[in-house]
Amino acid sequence: MILRVENLHAKIGDNEILRGVNLEVSPGEVHAVMGPNGSGKSTLAQVLAGREDYDVTGRVLYEGQDLLAMSPEDRAVAGVFLAFQYPVEIPGVGNLYFLRTALNSVRRLRGLDELDAIDFLSLAKERMSLVEMDESIMSRSVNEGFSGGEKKRNEILQMAVLEPKLAILDETDSGLDIDALRVVARGVNALRSEGRAMLVITHYQRLLDYIVPDVVHVFADGRIVRSGDKDLALELEQRGYAGLAQRPALETSTPVGATP
């Protein structure tokens, strides 16, 4: 088990956004989390990555460690990666420099040697080809003036360089046209491996045509209300979230989502 989420609650002030999330993910699995806007999917992603704006209760074990006790940077070093729904623009910091700083920081804290400029550049170029990233974009400031597609590809590039064990992709399909979606999905699929789990958060079933999940969870009202295999996504596409929401929520006393 790489990730075990038990009765996770998160709120900002009096506004409770996560209301008892239970989830288990094994290495190599791709889990999709689908749900309507405002259901709390992105909050789940942010809380797992270590965003400090929330009051969080419950338990999250990542490779047996207490994830909630770790700083965001420690989570990254341990192998957790969040591809942001809205990647942040950082004027004045070059994209390539940012990527190298991140990789070397992670390597240093993992007890590995830092990569020098030349070794890093060859690694970066190789990974850039995964997401068909143009080299010219690397000398620009991080995400500044990037198109929606460039921002999302930049997220996947960072994932390819940092090589996480648990990648959380938050609405990676939003704002992408079909061509950009194919490129991003191809990059993600290339990064699927036995040692790497993924949590793919999406509003639309469309992305799951390209990134085929092992498990699909339906998220509503701050928790997972149904789990199933990839066909659940198709059912959702036909019936809509409203149709599913009318069903009683699953018992959540036992964690759902684990593959047998």
> Which residues form the interface with another protein (CB under 8 A)?
49-52, 71-73, 75-77, 81-82, 84, 87-93, 98, 101-103, 105-106, 109, 158, 162
Amino acid at 134: D
Nearer to another protein, 24 or 155 (CB): 155
Structure tokens at 199: 């949590």
Least Cβ distance, residue 168 to another protein (angstroms):
10
Least Cβ distance, residue 51 to another protein (angstroms):
6
Least Cβ distance, residue 15 to another protein (angstroms):
19
Nearer to another protein, 103 or 216 (CB): 103
Instruction: Report yes or no: 137 and 95 within 8 Å, Cβ to Cβ.
Output: yes
β-sheet bridge partners, residue 11: 16, 55
Nearer to another protein, 88 or 117 (CB): 88
Least Cβ distance, residue 136 to another protein (angstroms):
20
HEC secondary structure over the chain: CCEEEEEEEEEECCEEEEEEEEEEECCCCEEEEECCCCCCHHHHHHHHHCCCCCEEEEEEEECCEEHHHCCHHHHHHHCEEEECCCCCCEEEEEHHHHHHHHHHHHHHHCCCCCCCHHHHHHHHHHHHHHCCCCHHHHHCEECCCCCHHHHHHHHHHHHHHHCCCEEEEECCCCCCCHHHHHHHHHHHHHCCECCEEEEEEECCCHHHHHCCCCEEEEEECCEEEEEECCHHHHHHHHHHHHHHHCCCCCCCCCCCCCCC
Nearer to another protein, 92 or 248 (CB): 92
Nearer to another protein, 22 or 46 (CB): 46
Nearer to another protein, 20 or 50 (CB): 50
Nearer to another protein, 25 or 82 (CB): 82
Least Cβ distance, residue 152 to another protein (angstroms):
14
Distance separating alpha carbons of residues 15 and 233, to the nearest angstrom: 29
Least Cβ distance, residue 12 to another protein (angstroms):
14
Least Cβ distance, residue 1 to another protein (angstroms):
23
